[in-house]
Structure 1
Amino acid sequence: MSQKLRNKKGKNTVIWVLMALMVAGLGGYGVTNFGASIGAIGSVGGREVDLRDYARALNQEVRAMSAQLGTPLTFAQAQQFGISGRVQAQIFAATALDGEAADRGLSVGDEEVRRQVTDIQAFKGLDGSFDRDAYKLTLRQEGLTEAEFEVRLRADAARGLLQRAVVGAAAAPETFVTSVAGWANETRDFTLAELIAADLDAPVEAPTEEALSAYYEAHPEDYTRPETRHITYVWLSPEMVQSEIEIDDATLRAAYDARIDEFVIPEKRLVERLVFANEDEARAAKARYDAGEASFEQITSERGLALADIDLGEMSKEELGDAGEAIFAMAEPGVVGPLPSTLGPALYAMNGVLAAQETTFEEARDTLLPDLTIDRARRLILDRSEGIADVLAGGSTLEQVAEEQKMQLGQIDFSAETSEGIAAYAAFRDAAKQATADDFPQLVELEDGGLFALRLDGIDPPAVRPLDEVRAAAVADWTRAETHSRLLAKAAEVQAALDNGGTLATLGLVTTRYDGFARSGHLADLPASIAERAFALEDGKSGVIDAAARVFVVQVDAVHAADPAEAAALADSLKPRIAQSIAGDMLDMFTTALENEKGVTVDQAAINAVHAQMQ
Structure 2
Amino acid sequence: MAARSGTSRIFVWILLGLLIVGLAGFGATNLTGTVRTVGQVGDQDIAAEDYARALQNELNALTRQRGAAVTFQEAREAGVDQRVLARLILQAALDDEAARLGISVGDAVVARQLAEISAFQGPDGELDREAYRFALENAGLTEAEFEADLRAETTRGILQGAVRAATPAPEPYVETLTEFVGERRSFTWARLGPEALETPVPAPSDAELRAFYEENTDRFMRPETKRITYTWLTPEMIIDEVEVDEAALRDLYEDRAAQYRQPERRLVERLAYPDEAAARAARQAIEAGESSFEAEVEARDLSLSDVDLGDATRRDLGEAADPVFAAGTGAVVGPLPSSLGPALYRVNGRLVAQETTFEEAEPELRDELAADRARRVIANQAESFDDLLAGGATLEELADETDMRLGEIDWHSGMSEGIAAYEAFREAARAVTLDDFPEIEALDGGVFALRLDEVVPPAPAPFEEVAGRATLLWEERETRARLTDQAEEIATGLRAGRSFAGAGLEDATEVEGVTRDGFVEGLSRAALETVFEMERGDVRIVADGASVAILRLDAVAAPDPQAEDIADLRAQIAQQGAAGLADDLLEAYVRDVQSRAGVTLDQAAINAVHANFQ
| 2:23 is the alignment partner of 1:27 | yes
Q: Give the TM-score taking structure 2 as reference length.
A: 0.66
Moved more, 120-129 or 104-113: 120-129
SS of residue paired to 1:107: coil
**Partner residue of 2:355?**
360
1:144/1:259 Cα in 2 relative to 1: closer, same or farther (>3 Å)?
Answer: closer
Counterpart code for 2:353: E
Q: Distance in 2 between matches of 1:66 and 1:99?
A: 33
**Partner residue of 2:552?**
555
SS of residue paired to 1:192: strand
| 2:56 is the alignment partner of 1:55 | no
Q: Distance in 1 between matches of 2:565 and 2:375?
A: 70
Q: Distance in 1 between matches of 2:161 and 2:533?
A: 40
| 2:164 is the alignment partner of 1:167 | yes
Counterpart code for 1:544: I
| 2:565 is the alignment partner of 1:566 | yes
| 2:104 is the alignment partner of 1:107 | yes
1:246/1:15 Cα in 2 relative to 1: closer, same or farther (>3 Å)?
Answer: closer
**Of the candidates 472, 477, 483, which is equivalent to residue 479 of structure 2?**
483
Q: Distance in 1 between matches of 2:424 and 2:22?
A: 47
Conserved 8 A contact 2:194-2:546: no
Conserved 8 A contact 1:245-1:373: no
TM-superposed CA distance for 1:103, in Å, is 1.5
1:352/1:507 Cα in 2 relative to 1: closer, same or farther (>3 Å)?
Answer: farther
Q: Distance in 2 between matches of 1:350 and 1:74?
A: 61
Spell out the pairing of 1:73-84 with structure 2 (5 A cutoff): 74=70, 76=72, 83-84=80-81
Counterpart code for 1:553: I
Counterpart code for 1:194: R
Q: Give the TM-score taking structure 1 as reference length.
A: 0.66
Q: Distance in 1 between matches of 2:176 and 2:337?
A: 61
What's the Cα RMSD here?
A: 6.5
TM-superposed CA distance for 1:412, in Å, is 10
**Partner residue of 2:208?**
211
1:241/1:571 Cα in 2 relative to 1: closer, same or farther (>3 Å)?
Answer: closer
TM-superposed CA distance for 1:79, in Å, is 6.2
Counterpart code for 2:99: A
Q: Distance in 2 between matches of 1:433 and 1:20?
A: 33
SS of residue paired to 1:35: coil
Q: Number of matched residues?
A: 579
**Partner residue of 1:457?**
none
**Partner residue of 2:590?**
591
SS of residue paired to 2:26: coil
Q: Deviations over 1:82-135 (max 9, x none)?
A: 544443333322222222222222223343344334555555567655455666
1:580/1:323 Cα in 2 relative to 1: closer, same or farther (>3 Å)?
Answer: farther
Moved more, 367-376 or 82-91: 367-376
Moved more, 371-380 or 488-497: 371-380
Conserved 8 A contact 1:444-1:452: yes
1:325/1:461 Cα in 2 relative to 1: closer, same or farther (>3 Å)?
Answer: same
**Of the candidates 189, 193, 212, which is equivalent to residue 190 of structure 2?**
193
Q: Distance in 1 between matches of 2:440 and 2:61?
A: 43
Spell out the pairing of 1:93-242 with structure 2 (5 A cutoff): 93-121=90-118, 129-130=126-127, 149-171=146-168, 187-200=184-197, 202-208=199-205, 210-219=207-216
Moved more, 538-547 or 310-319: 310-319
Conserved 8 A contact 1:444-1:453: yes
Q: Deviations over 1:23-60 (max 9, x none)?
A: 54863333672135222232323422223233334444
TM-superposed CA distance for 1:568, in Å, is 2.9
Q: Distance in 1 between matches of 2:408 and 2:207?
A: 33
TM-superposed CA distance for 1:586, in Å, is 3.3
1:372/1:36 Cα in 2 relative to 1: closer, same or farther (>3 Å)?
Answer: closer
| 2:507 is the alignment partner of 1:508 | no
Listed as ranges, the gaps of 5+ residues in structure 2 are 386-390, 433-437, 451-455
Listed as ranges, the gaps of 5+ residues in structure 1 are 1-6, 436-440, 455-459
Q: Deviations over 1:369-397 (max 9, x none)?
A: 365368558868998998xx9xxx9x9xx
**Partner residue of 1:369?**
363
Q: Distance in 2 between matches of 1:348 and 1:175?
A: 74
Q: Distance in 1 between matches of 2:490 and 2:444?
A: 58
Q: Distance in 2 between matches of 1:208 and 1:90?
A: 62
TM-superposed CA distance for 1:235, in Å, is 11
Spell out the pairing of 1:177-576 with structure 2 (5 A cutoff): 187-200=184-197, 202-208=199-205, 210-219=207-216, 257-265=254-262, 267-269=265-267, 314=310, 316=312, 332=330, 353-361=348-356, 368-369=362-363, 372=366, 376=370, 475-491=471-487, 494-509=490-505, 511-517=508-514, 519-523=516-520, 527-548=524-545, 550-560=547-557, 564-571=563-570
Conserved 8 A contact 2:179-2:558: yes
**Partner residue of 1:4?**
none
Q: Distance in 1 between matches of 2:522 and 2:295?
A: 43
SS of residue paired to 2:32: coil
**Of the candidates 80, 85, 89, which is equivalent to residue 86 of structure 2?**
89
TM-superposed CA distance for 1:165, in Å, is 1.5
Q: Deviations over 1:490-544 (max 9, x none)?
A: 4555555544444544333453444454555445565433333334444433433
Conserved 8 A contact 2:4-2:154: no
Conserved 8 A contact 1:239-1:377: no
Q: Deviations over 1:111-168 (max 9, x none)?
A: 3344334555555567655455666676677676655555444433332222221222
1:543/1:258 Cα in 2 relative to 1: closer, same or farther (>3 Å)?
Answer: farther
Q: Distance in 2 between matches of 1:177 and 1:346?
A: 69
Conserved 8 A contact 2:480-2:543: no
Q: Distance in 2 between matches of 1:549 and 1:252?
A: 61
1:71/1:184 Cα in 2 relative to 1: closer, same or farther (>3 Å)?
Answer: same
Conserved 8 A contact 2:314-2:321: no
TM-superposed CA distance for 1:298, in Å, is 9.1
**Partner residue of 2:435?**
none
Moved more, 120-129 or 524-533: 120-129
Q: Deviations over 1:192-221 (max 9, x none)?
A: 333333434654344456534423443557
Conserved 8 A contact 2:425-2:443: no
Q: Distance in 1 between matches of 2:88 and 2:101?
A: 20
Counterpart code for 1:555: R
Conserved 8 A contact 1:263-1:357: no
Moved more, 42-51 or 71-80: 71-80
Q: Distance in 2 between matches of 1:107 and 1:577?
A: 30
Counterpart code for 1:91: L
Spell out the pairing of 1:38-49 with structure 2 (5 A cutoff): 38-49=35-46
TM-superposed CA distance for 1:482, in Å, is 2.7
TM-superposed CA distance for 1:169, in Å, is 1.4
Q: Deviations over 1:295-350 (max 9, x none)?
A: 8569769xxxx988x68773536897899879968964889999988xxx799998
SS of residue paired to 2:91: helix
SS of residue paired to 2:104: coil
Moved more, 151-160 or 311-320: 311-320
Q: Distance in 1 between matches of 2:98 and 2:376?
A: 73
Conserved 8 A contact 1:252-1:365: no
Counterpart code for 1:170: T
SS of residue paired to 2:25: coil
SS of residue paired to 2:548: strand
Q: Distance in 2 between matches of 1:179 and 1:261?
A: 73
SS of residue paired to 2:31: coil
